[in-house]
C-alpha cells in the first residue's frame, strides 16, 4: 500500500515537473521575444533620434561603410581592425540610400537601422 502511494506521488511529481519545465521553456521563449522586440524598438528610436555623426567614431565608420559599398577592402587605421564583413549591413544601407537618392543623413539612418537589426539577430 505504501509503495502504491509512493509510486502515485512520484508519478504526479514527474508530471508536475514536466509541466514546470514546459512552463519554464515557454517563459524563456517569451522573454527572448520581448528582449529582441525591445532591442529592435530601442535601435529604431536611437537610429532616428540620435543627431547625425554625434556618436564616437561614427563619421569614420560611416565612411568605411561607404568604402565597403564601393568594393574597398582596406580601411583607415582605426577601422582596419574590423573585417569588411562587419560593415556589410551599413554598406547595404549606403547602397540603398544611393539608389533611392536619399540625403547623407537619411542614408545614415538607414545604415544605423540595418546595422542595429543585424546586431539584434
56 and 12 within one domain = no
Both 36 and 54 in one domain: the answer is no
109 and 57 together in one domain: yes
Residues 31 and 60 in one domain: no
Domain extent for 24? 1-40
Give the mean pLDDT per block of 10 residues along the chain (121 residues). Answer: 52 56 75 89 92 90 93 80 91 97 96 89 65
pTM flag (> 0.85): no
Crossing angle between the packed helical segments 58-69 and 88-100, to the nearest 10 degrees: 70
What's residue 5's pLDDT?
Answer: 54
Kindly provide the residue ranges of all beta strands, DSSP E only, lying in the chain, ordered along the sequence.
none
Q: What is the pLDDT of residue 27?
A: 84
Amino acid at each position: 500500500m505504501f509503495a502504491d502511494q509512493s509510486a502515485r506521488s512520484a508519478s504526479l511529481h514527474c508530471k508536475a515537473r514536466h509541466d514546470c519545465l514546459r512552463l519554464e521553456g515557454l517563459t524563456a521563449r517569451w522573454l527572448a521575444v520581448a528582449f529582441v522586440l525591445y532591442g529592435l524598438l530601442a535601435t529604431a528610436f536611437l537610429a532616428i533620434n540620435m543627431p547625425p555623426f554625434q556618436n564616437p567614431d561614427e563619421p569614420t565608420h560611416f565612411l568605411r561603410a561607404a568604402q565597403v559599398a564601393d568594393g574597398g577592402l582596406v580601411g583607415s587605421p582605426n577601422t582596419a581592425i574590423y573585417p569588411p564583413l562587419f560593415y556589410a549591413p551599413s554598406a547595404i544601407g549606403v547602397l540603398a540610400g544611393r539608389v533611392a537618392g536619399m540625403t547623407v543623413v537619411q542614408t545614415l539612418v538607414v545604415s544605423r537601422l540595418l546595422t542595429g537589426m543585424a546586431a539584434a539577430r
